[in-house]
A and B are shown apart, each in its own frame.
Chain A
Amino acid sequence: MTTVETATGAAKTMVLNMGPQHPSTHGVLRILLELDGETVVKAVPDLGYLHTGIEKSCEDKTYSQAITLTDRMDYLNPLGNNLVYCLAVEKLLGLEVPKRAQYIRVMMVELQRISSHLVWLGTHAIDLGAMSVFLYCFREREEILKIFEMFSGQRMMTSYIRIGGIALDPPAGWRQAVQKFLSMMPSRVDEYEKLLTQNPIWIGRTKGVGYISPEDAIALSMTGPTLRAASVAYDNRKVFPYSSYEEFKFDIPTRTESDCYARYLVRVAEMRESLKIVRQAMEKIADEGPVKAEAPGIIPPQREKMKTEMEALIYHFKIFTEGFSPQPGEAFVAVESPRGELGCFVASDGSPKPLRVHFRSPSFINLQALPKLVEGQLIADVVACIGTIDIVLGEVDR
Chain B
Amino acid sequence: MTESSSQNANVVVETLRSWSPQAVLEVIEFRGERTVVVPRNLLRAAAERCRADAKLQFNLLSGASCVDRYPVEPRFELNYFLVSIPRSDRVRLQVRLAGQDPTVDSLVPVWPGANWLEREIFDLFGIRFNGHPDLRRILLPEDWEGFPLRKDFPVEGFREVPSSGDLFKKSSML
Contacts and interface: CB of A to CB of B under 8 A. Distances in A.
Given A56-B155, A330-B30, A218 B79 contact: no
Nearest to B72: A349
A53 B90 CA distance: 28
Contacts of B99: none
A240 interface: yes
Interface size class of A (residues with CB under 8 A): 35 or more
B61 interface: yes
A345 B79 contact: yes
B67 A347 contact: yes
Q: Interface majority SS on A: helix, strand, loop or mixed?
A: mixed
A94 B33 CA distance: 12
A356 B67 contact: yes
B138 interface: yes
A53 B148 contact: yes
Interface in B59-81: 59-63, 65-69, 79, 81
A186 interface: no
Nearest to B92: A332
A232 B59 CA distance: 12
B35 A330 contact: yes
Nearest to A60: B155
Interface centre among A60, A328, A329, A398 (most CB of B within 10 A): A329
B67 A343 contact: no
Contacts of A48: 137-141
A197 B131 CA distance: 45
A368 B31 contact: no
A11 interface: no
Nearest to B61: A221
A265 B59 CA distance: 26
A146 interface: no
7 contacts: A218-B60, A220-B113, A221-B113, A332-B33, A343-B62, A355-B69, A368-B113
Interface of B: 1-2, 30-31, 33, 35, 59-63, 65-69, 79, 81, 85, 88, 90, 92, 111-117, 120, 124, 137-141, 148-149, 155
Interface of A: 47-48, 51, 53, 55-57, 59-60, 91-92, 94, 218-223, 232, 234, 239-240, 328-332, 334, 341, 343, 345, 347, 349, 355-356, 358, 360, 364-365, 367-368, 397-398
